[in-house]
């Protein structure tokens, strides 16, 4: 009898190891024709990896659609709903796009959402228009890092000179130049900002390299094995390739990185862990310490001498931005404890009215460019 009891405990133990977390979405909708469907899209492969037409929900009746996602572990989900493309994304009653829905999942849960309206955007908002000269490297990958496109913005007059230029490496590359490749209709407008500031003669000329994300974005942009692989991909694959193809200034003094949210985290991680390569990082709305992500603890444990870098930290104050702020404050305190000085080693900009989206970062990118790369 005792053997059977121990065997039962062992079976239960194995079952607990293999247990999954079930997330059930129940969405009540209006204005979905018989020929249309509702899709869920988000930051997990089971949510399509931000592909708006990959994960179709199951139609229960005329107004109710359902979908169940099974997670291997706790985590934070970001997601939206579409009719299969970003032109038909769920919007509010005022016709304005909603920010990402965000749910921290720790156990089985059911998420119920009511959607009233759908955007039917037309016109220039969804037409790709890039200011300046760009080139592409297609399907670049390495090992476990999935292939993705890399877009390179060259400075004005690049083809008419022999000058060499510093390079700014940016993450979520599909979101920084071209509104047609952004899942949200508005890009960072880095190209327009640089064009305007260069014409005014107030910032340095530079090459900007946008590295697209993948369905593994969260893992690639965080302190994880895949995050380590991504940093090696950037430093050992992307950068050497860019230096070989373009007239760059390859030294650390002229090598910079920037990104937002998880991209803001990986930008700081590259600055911190590859300080021999990067000298400046821009961390917009960075996920330093939130939910399962905690890079503050990693920085606290450092035993290395004070690093030589410049860090730009930027955040808003609405929605997810407010939730990110405590982790940002802890990182700032940790850096100060390690001897880093505000307004010398790192700079902080907070816009209390700003939300967590590309439109907000587009408004603040000129400040970053002028503060960190001003002439």
| Confidence label for 183 from pLDDT (cuts 50, 70 and 90) | low
The verdict on residue 315 lying in a domain is: yes
> Phi and psi (nearest 5°) for 17?
-65, -35
Q: Is residue 101 located within the same domain as residue 146?
A: no
What pLDDT, in 10s, does the model give residues 137-146? Answer: 999 999 999 9
pLDDT at 364: 93
The pLDDT of 118-123, averaged and rounded, is 56
Task: Examine the fold and report which residue of 118, 151, 176 is the final residue of a domain before the chain moves on.
Answer: 118
Q: Is residue 92 located within the same domain as residue 63?
A: yes
Measured between alpha carbons, how far is 26 from 334 in angstroms, rounded to an integer? Answer: 41
Prediction pTM value? 0.73
The verdict on residue 6 lying in a domain is: no
The verdict on residue 2 lying in a domain is: no
Measured between alpha carbons, how far is 39 from 53 in angstroms, rounded to an integer? Answer: 6
The verdict on residue 213 lying in a domain is: yes
Q: Is residue 292 located within the same domain as residue 217?
A: yes
Task: Examine the fold and report which residue of 84, 118, 152 is the final residue of a domain before the chain moves on.
Answer: 118
Q: Is 38 within 8 Å of 81 (Cβ atoms)? A: yes
Q: List the end-to-end C-alpha distance of the chain, in Å, as a whole number.
A: 81
CA neighbor of 79 nearest in space, from 108, 112, 50:
50
Domain carrying residue 68: 19-118
Measured between alpha carbons, how far is 349 from 317 in angstroms, rounded to an integer? Answer: 11
The verdict on residue 35 lying in a domain is: yes
Residue 138's domain is classified under what CATH number?
Answer: 3.40.50.1820
CA neighbor of 190 nearest in space, from 204, 205, 175, 200:
175
The verdict on residue 75 lying in a domain is: yes
Does residue 50 register a pLDDT over 60? Answer: yes
Q: Is residue 54 located within the same domain as residue 203?
A: no
Number of domains making up the chain = 2
What pLDDT, in 10s, does the model give residues 223-261? Answer: 999 999 999 999 999 999 999 999 999 999 999 999 999
Q: Which of 12-26, 49-63, 104-118 has the lowest mean pLDDT?
A: 12-26
Which residue reads 């005022």 in tokens? Answer: 94
For the chain, the C-alpha Rg in angstroms (whole number) is 22
What pLDDT, in 10s, does the model give residues 272-302? Answer: 999 999 999 999 999 999 988 999 999 999 9
Measured between alpha carbons, how far is 313 from 304 in angstroms, rounded to an integer? Answer: 22
């Amino acid at each position: 009898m005792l053997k059977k009891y121990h065997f039962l405990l062992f079976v239960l133990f194995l079952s607990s190891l293999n247990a999954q977390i079930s997330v059930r979405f129940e969405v009540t909708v209006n204005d979905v024709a018989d020929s249309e469907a509702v899709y869920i899209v988000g930051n997990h492969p089971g949510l399509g990896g931000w592909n708006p037409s990959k994960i179709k929900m199951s139609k229960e009746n005329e107004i109710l659609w359902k979908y169940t996602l099974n997670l291997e572990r706790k985590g934070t989900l970001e997601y939206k709903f579409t009719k299969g493309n970003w032109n038909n994304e769920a919007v509010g009653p005022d016709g304005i796009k909603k920010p990402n829905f965000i749910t921290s999942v720790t156990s089985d849960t059911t998420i119920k959402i009511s959607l009233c309206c759908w955007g039917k955007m037309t016109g220039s908002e969804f037409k790709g228009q890039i200011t300046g000269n760009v080139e592409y490297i297609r399907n670049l990958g390495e090992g476990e890092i999935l292939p993705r496109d890399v877009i390179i913005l060259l400075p004005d007059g690049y083809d008419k000179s022999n000058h060499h230029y510093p390079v700014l490496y940016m993450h979520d590359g599909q979101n920084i130049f071209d509104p047609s490749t952004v899942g949200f209709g508005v890009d960072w407008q880095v190209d327009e900002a640089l064009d305007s500031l260069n014409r005014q003669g107030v910032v340095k000329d530079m090459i900007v390299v946008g590295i697209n994300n993948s369905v593994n974005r969260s893992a690639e942009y965080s302190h994880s094995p895949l995050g380590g692989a991504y940093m090696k991909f950037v430093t050992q694959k992307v950068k050497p390739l860019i230096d070989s193809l373009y007239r760059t200034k390859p030294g650390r003094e002229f090598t910079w990185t920037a990104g937002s949210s998880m991209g803001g985290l990986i930008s700081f991680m590259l600055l911190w862990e590859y300080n021999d390569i990067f000298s400046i990082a821009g961390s917009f709305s960075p996920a330093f310490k939130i939910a399962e992500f905690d890079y503050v603890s990693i920085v606290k444990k450092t035993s290395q001498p004070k690093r030589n870098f410049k860090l730009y930290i930027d955040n808003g104050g609405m929605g997810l931005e407010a939730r990110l702020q405590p982790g940002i404050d802890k990182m700032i305190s940790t850096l100060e404890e390690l001897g880093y000085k505000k307004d010398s080693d790192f700079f902080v900009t907070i816009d209390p009215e700003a939300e967590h989206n590309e439109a907000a970062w587009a408004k603040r990118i000129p400040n970053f460019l002028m503060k960190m790369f001003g002439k």
